[in-house]
Amino acid sequence: MKISNILEVGNRRSRFKYIGESLAGSWVVALLGFSGYVLHFNSAPVGFLFLLIVVSEAILCGFWQATIVSILACACLDYFFYSPYLTLNILDSRDWVALGSFELSALVVSRVSSREQRSSREAMLQRTAMEQLYELSRSTLLINLHQPPGPQLTQLIQRIFSVEAISIFDANSGTTDSSGNWTESEKDRAKECFVLNEDSEDLATQTSMRVLRIGSSSVGAIAIRGNLSPLVTNALASLAAITLDRCVSFEKESRIEAAHQSERLRAAVLDSLAHAVKTPLTAIQSASSGLREVGSLNESQARLVSLVEEESTQLNLLCTRLLQTAKLEAEEVSLGKDEIAVADLVTQVVEEQAGRMAGHPIEVDVPDSALTIRGDSELLSMALGQFLDNAAKYSFAGEKVKVSAWESHSEIMISVHNVGPAIPMSDRERIFQRFYRSEGSKSMAPGTGIGLSAVKMAVEAHRGHAWVISDSTEGTTFFLSLPQQGGRSQ
């Protein structure tokens, strides 16, 4: 009943307005006609004035009001200015010509006026929409990126565009945030739109659903109920998608920065620990050497001294790698520029690692004995030694380890091959990260995840590359490539 009453009152007001506009124009025509008759004007100027009134009525009020005024103007012309005067002669051809002229003018002018008014209204609506979109884009730049974006976006859009209801589904968090009046069956419309990955319109409820896309990927969906044009709705969806994507990027950057800070703190602690361990470790090695020189050790005592020496040597190697890694990260290492014979380098490292190969025979394949490279022999020995250490730890029992070196274009290639469990594809890059260990290798041998990261940094300091290929049937091969012209500039 309330809605019907409102419509009835609106219709009554429209009728009153229509009648009032028609009567106003008619009174002006009647007054002008009577004045022209009293002042003895002829029909030409009065007809022109009537035409102006009809045109003005068409511009200001519309075609039907101008039609009523034009009929009255024709009657006034016939009554006051065409003989016999003060008599209506409807069959006079001049009346029909005047009426046709007035009607044609009213029709043309009213159509042009309506089109201009419609264009003006559309331009005003577009300008308003652009202002609202600009305000929304500016407001989204100021949202709190540390808080969920969904509730902030829904409040902004409802406040700026005065929509009845809005709902946003954020695919990153899997949550739906709503504002306005939604029924129970409508609360998941945005999520349904995302799942179906299809834009849609519900004309009955004036609800628009849009998938929020960044490029070819979907980051969420939005459902809006309100009197908005499709163009504005699409622009709103684009702004919402950009905001959600910006929040996801900020969250990722925050996590990465937190991980970097944690990594830097852990590295600083371990580096400090390595420095602190160096001094007592040197004392332990000196003491064990002194015990052996004293002599008079029985078999058990000699075995214990050997164990102390081996473990202290291993611990000293770990500390050295920690310190070298820290210096390489800070680019504090001054690379040597020695000319190194590759065959001698391989032979030296194989001899040093012979005691740690745990029964794995070693095959060396360096066809060109004249192969040389310029670089830091200590760092390169450490890198190749780490490859051999890994091969010994993760090879099947008794399997051969093969070390090869050759020239490829302008690079020297060195590889270490062993037969053991395959390294998963997802881990082949990550095992060169500091402290990372593949899940499959943790149970095979103890380790810290430091060695391969030190290899990578040492090789990259020489402007080279380190990588691995692995296959369950062919085995695992670690490679390092080094340019023949040496390392980074000092």
Total H helices, total E strands in the chain: 12, 12
Does residue 489 form part of some domain? Answer: no
Same domain for 310 and 178, yes or no, is: no
Same domain for 362 and 446, yes or no, is: yes
Average pLDDT of the residues of the chain = 80
Dihedral-angle region of residue 419 (phi above 0 means left; psi in -120 to 50 means alpha; beta otherwise) = beta
Same domain for 46 and 123, yes or no, is: yes
Same domain for 433 and 477, yes or no, is: yes
Q: What is the pTM of this model?
A: 0.48
Same domain for 203 and 308, yes or no, is: no
Going by C-alpha positions, the residue among 179, 165, 181, 157 that lies closest to residue 241 is: 157
Does residue 137 form part of some domain? Answer: no
pLDDT score for 12: 59
Same domain for 123 and 148, yes or no, is: no
The tally of domains found in the chain comes to 4
Residue 370 scores a pLDDT above 80: yes
Same domain for 478 and 423, yes or no, is: yes
Q: Where would I find the H helices in 162-229?
A: 189-196
Please report how many Cα atoms fall inside a 13 Å half-sphere around the Cα of residue 345, on the Cβ side: 29
Same domain for 394 and 433, yes or no, is: yes
Provide long-range contacts, Cβ within 8 A and 24+ apart, for 141-148.
143/243, 145/246, 145/247, 145/250, 145/251, 148/173, 148/175, 148/177
Does residue 438 form part of some domain? Answer: yes
Q: Which residues does residue 175 pair with via DSSP β-bridges, in sequence order? A: 170
Same domain for 218 and 276, yes or no, is: no
pLDDT score for 104: 73
| Window from 125-129, 160-164, 280-284 with minimum mean pLDDT | 280-284
Distance of CA 240 to the CA centre of its chain: 12
| Window from 10-19, 360-369, 457-466 with minimum mean pLDDT | 10-19
Q: Which residues does residue 415 pair with via DSSP β-bridges, in sequence order? A: 404, 479
pLDDT score for 330: 52
pLDDT score for 130: 85
pLDDT digit string, tens, across residues 4-14 = 443 454 455 66
Domain that holds residue 394: 338-483
Same domain for 248 and 204, yes or no, is: yes
Q: Where does a domain end: 253, 269, 297?
A: 253
Same domain for 58 and 75, yes or no, is: yes
pLDDT score for 416: 94
Alpha carbons 421 and 393: distance in angstroms, whole number: 11
pLDDT digit string, tens, across residues 406-437 = 998 889 999 999 998 888 888 888 888 877 77
pLDDT score for 490: 41
pLDDT score for 226: 87
The residue among 233 and 101 whose pLDDT is bigger is: 233
Does residue 383 form part of some domain? Answer: yes
